[in-house]
Amino acid sequence: MNTFDEIFSKIKQYPTIILHRHTNPDPDAIGSQAALAKSLRLQFPDKKILCTGENDVGDLDWINTMDEVKDEDYQGALVITTDTANTPRISDQRYRLGDYLIKIDHHPDVDPYADMSYVDSKAAAACEIIADFIEAEGLPLTQEIALALYAGIVGDTGRFMYDATSAHTFEVVSRLMETGIDISQIARNESEVTFQQAKLQSLALEKMQLDESGLVAIAVISQADLKALGVTQPQASVTVSTPGRIKGILTWLVIVEKEDGTYRVHYRSKGPHINKLAEAHDGGGHELASGATAHDQVEIDQIFQELVEVTKKYKEDHE
Ligand code: AMP
């Protein structure tokens, strides 16, 4: 792993810097990319600093929107990815066209794909690392930048609820709040759902099933469900945290059918580590929050069974 200073000296060398983040972006992906780009633009007005990734960032355009990036822009450019553990998840695969690649992330380093990297899997969010980078290198922190960073931290900590939230997270947040950001408005932007999404949350609960022990839950949302309610597949992610609010549930899956008939699998846990399970199904992520893909109902059944086994073992070991 490299130091902030080493990364910053690379940044200083390049006239063009292109920032990438992961596909199906969440506030931490968009926020970490946006904050680094905006801060570097202020510090280096003569550099060309661009953000790329799929253009449709869903309901996250209040944090940032993408720039138009041409293939030629990559010539002699420095490429930085944030919040992206492995290469298939990098949004906009042109990241390979650059001259030098830096990875800044907080997922376990399963795929050390870059020329230089800063990976801290203890950090609550990639935005926490970017905030520390800005502080360490004396880069500008405006209200707009703080908003992006706070949005990412709120998103990835589930509003300061998940285990990775640390005393340091609150130190960072304190710095961000000094800029005068409206934390209630940011929290509302992230937690408000449309009426249709609320109906989908209720449907997910109706469809939820438990294993024999009552510790493991699964809810599968089909394309027909989404179409009936007029909710898109990325918008369906609002249902993911719902089962976790139920007492007694230790691990759960929310599975959403995609337009191509495969399924996006959301793994969540309050204790057992589930990232290895996700890795076995074309996915990955954090110990307590991971994502993967299932190709059919048979694979969904297998995924559920694997989660039941891991949860049972965890329960035995912790009794
Ligand atoms: P999600 O269930 O989509 O909210 O994802 C939970 C966590 O797992 C996030 O940190 C994602 O970045 C990560 N993740 C989701 N899908 C994948 C995947 N296919 N491969 C690697 N990491 C993933």
42 burial via Cβ count (<10 Å: 0-12, 13-18, 19+)? middle
**In CATH, which of 3.90.1640.10, 1.20.120.80, 3.40.50.720, 3.30.420.280 is domain 4-190?**
3.90.1640.10
For residue 233, the model assigns a pLDDT of: 87
The rounded Å distance from CA 168 to ligand 1 centre is 24
Give the atom of ligand 1 at the shortest distance from the alpha carbon of 29.
12
Encode pLDDT of 38-92 as tens digits: 999 999 999 999 999 998 777 899 999 999 999 999 999 999 999 999 999 999 9
For residue 55, the model assigns a pLDDT of: 84
**Which pTM does this prediction carry?**
0.93
The rounded Å distance from CA 284 to ligand 1 centre is 6
Give the atom of ligand 1 at the shortest distance from the alpha carbon of 266.
2
Region 181-194: mean pLDDT is 95
For residue 177, the model assigns a pLDDT of: 98
For residue 230, the model assigns a pLDDT of: 96
Encode pLDDT of 16-45 as tens digits: 999 999 999 999 999 999 999 999 999 999
Sign, CA dihedral 191-193-199-200, equals: negative
Q: Name which of 234, 152, 145, 164 is nearest 190 in CA terms.
A: 152
Which amino acid is residue 42, in one-letter code? Answer: L
Region 292-315: mean pLDDT is 98
- State what percent of residues in the chain have pLDDT above 90: 96
Give the atom of ligand 1 at the shortest distance from the alpha carbon of 282.
19
Q: Where are the domains of the chain?
A: 4-190, 195-317
Rg (CA), the chain: 20
CA distances to 208, 227, 269 from 203, rounded to whole Å, are 8, 13, 21
Encode pLDDT of 269-286 as tens digits: 999 999 999 999 999 999
Q: What is the rounded (10 degree) CA torsion for 15, 16, 21, 23? A: -170
- State what percent of residues in the chain have pLDDT above 70: 100
The rounded Å distance from CA 76 to ligand 1 centre is 31
The rounded Å distance from CA 156 to ligand 1 centre is 11
What is the residue with the minimal CA distance to atom 12 of ligand 1? Answer: 285
Confidence of residue 319 (pLDDT cuts 50, 70, 90): confident
Architecture field, domain 195-317: Roll (3.10)
